[in-house]
Amino acid sequence: MNNTIAIIGGGSWATALCKILTDNNQHVHWYMRDTQAILHIQQYGHNPNYISTATLNVNNITLSYNPQQIVDACQTLIIAIPAAYLHDTLQGINLTNKNIVSAIKGIIPSTNQIVGDYLQTQFNQPLANIAVIAGPCHAEEVAMERLSYLTIASQNAVLASNVAQALNCRYINTSINDDIYGTEYSAVLKNIMALASGICHGIGYGDNFQAVLVSTAIQEIKRFVDAVHPINRDINDHAYLGDLLVTAYSQFSRNRTFGAMIGKGYSVKAAQLELNMVAEGYFAVKCIHHINQQHNVYMPITNAVYNILYLNHNVTNEIKQLTELL
């Protein structure tokens, strides 16, 4: 891998990945739109807007608000922005002959595509040039340098190994697999399951029920990923089950937090305003609902979340009906 890596995005995961890479003596070219944040990072070594506790080695960072300049400087590009913003962000950027690594845990709402499919159809990127970063890992714990694990998925074993090596450091352990579709869809679905977990917590269900919900959720994820991409995979691996567990239970999970607000009676708009960050599961559940019309996978948890968020079903009644299906 080229020793210089580019990151697109100014949020929590972009910041966490920049910290990991620069702590591992990689030089990073970093694009973000917020010029004030760029100046703050250059002067103080912290992102003022996201996980500001993360100390960044500014000597290893080149910041710019010009995305093409950042892309041109590097062979490998890590994209870490909400899926809903990807289409607009990449418009006009030449990605020819670049390795693209997605740290996005969502679906493109305008096309109902996971990032790998979107890059292939919209930018003619060969699948061999695409990799995905999967968890289980929260950006906030990276900032605290707590031991975390990342899985790099790609059908190009060399690319996956190179990205894993770049990210492996004293507080990050990495592994690789070739299940790019399964890890992407699983990462999308675990956010939906975390919404359900949060909703149930918000209306008063306890740990006993949460255990049943999450154990059922991994079965739902397996049914779906096996339907859309049927290969031999171990759904109990940490890239799938582990990522689900941390997202469904952690205090840092924005999807769980968003769901808890809904359970407590917040409207979708009010929850979005208070959270002030994108909960990928909100957009993803609508996309998965439409995709599943082609596959007809049994998905009671996903259906319940969709009914609550998009059909305005009564939260308590919808979850009560769900409890009878688990």
Could you read off the pLDDT of 14-73 as tens digits, one per residue? Answer: 999 999 999 999 999 999 999 999 999 999 999 999 999 999 999 999 999 999 999 999
What pLDDT is recorded for position 3? 64
Q: What is the mean pLDDT of residues 291-317?
A: 97
Q: Kindly state the tokens that stand for 195.
A: 């919404």
Gap between the Cα atoms of 193 and 280, Å rounded? 11
Q: How many Cβ atoms sit within 10 Å of the Cβ of residue 204?
A: 11
User: Is the predicted pLDDT of residue 174 greater than 60, yes or no?
Assistant: yes
Condensed to tens digits (0 to 9), the pLDDT of residues 60-112 reads 999 999 999 999 999 999 999 999 899 999 988 999 999 999 999 999 988 99
Return the bridge partners of 169, or none: 172
Under a CB-based contact definition with an 8 Å cutoff, are residues 94 and 100 in contact? no
- Give the phi and the psi of residue 309 in degrees, each rounded to 5: -80, -30
What pLDDT is recorded for position 202? 97
User: Is the predicted pLDDT of residue 9 greater than 70, yes or no?
Assistant: yes
Gap between the Cα atoms of 323 and 303, Å rounded? 13
The CATH number corresponding to 188-323 among 1.10.760.10, 1.10.10.10, 1.10.1040.10, 3.30.300.130 equals 1.10.1040.10
What pLDDT is recorded for position 5? 93
Q: Is 325 exposed, middle or buried (0-12, 13-18, 19+ CB in 10 A)?
A: exposed
The CATH number corresponding to 4-178 among 3.40.710.10, 3.20.20.10, 3.40.50.2300, 3.40.50.720 equals 3.40.50.720
Question: How do the residues of the chain divide into helix, strand and coil, expressed in percent and rounded to 5?
Answer: 55, 15, 30
Gap between the Cα atoms of 209 and 112, Å rounded? 31
Helix, strand, or coil here: 1? Answer: coil
**Domains of the chain, residue spans:** 4-178, 188-323
Gap between the Cα atoms of 30 and 78, Å rounded? 9
Average pLDDT of the chain? 94
Q: Is 324 exposed, middle or buried (0-12, 13-18, 19+ CB in 10 A)?
A: exposed
Label residue 153 by pLDDT band (50, 70, 90).
Answer: very high
Q: What is the mean pLDDT of residues 108-127?
A: 92
User: Is the predicted pLDDT of residue 1 greater than 80, yes or no?
Assistant: no
Condensed to tens digits (0 to 9), the pLDDT of residues 228-263 reads 999 999 999 999 999 999 999 988 899 999 999 999
User: Is the predicted pLDDT of residue 313 greater than 90, yes or no?
Assistant: yes
State the residue for tokens 């080229």.
2
Condensed to tens digits (0 to 9), the pLDDT of residues 177-224 reads 999 999 999 999 999 999 999 999 999 999 999 999 999 999 999 999
What pLDDT is recorded for position 198? 97
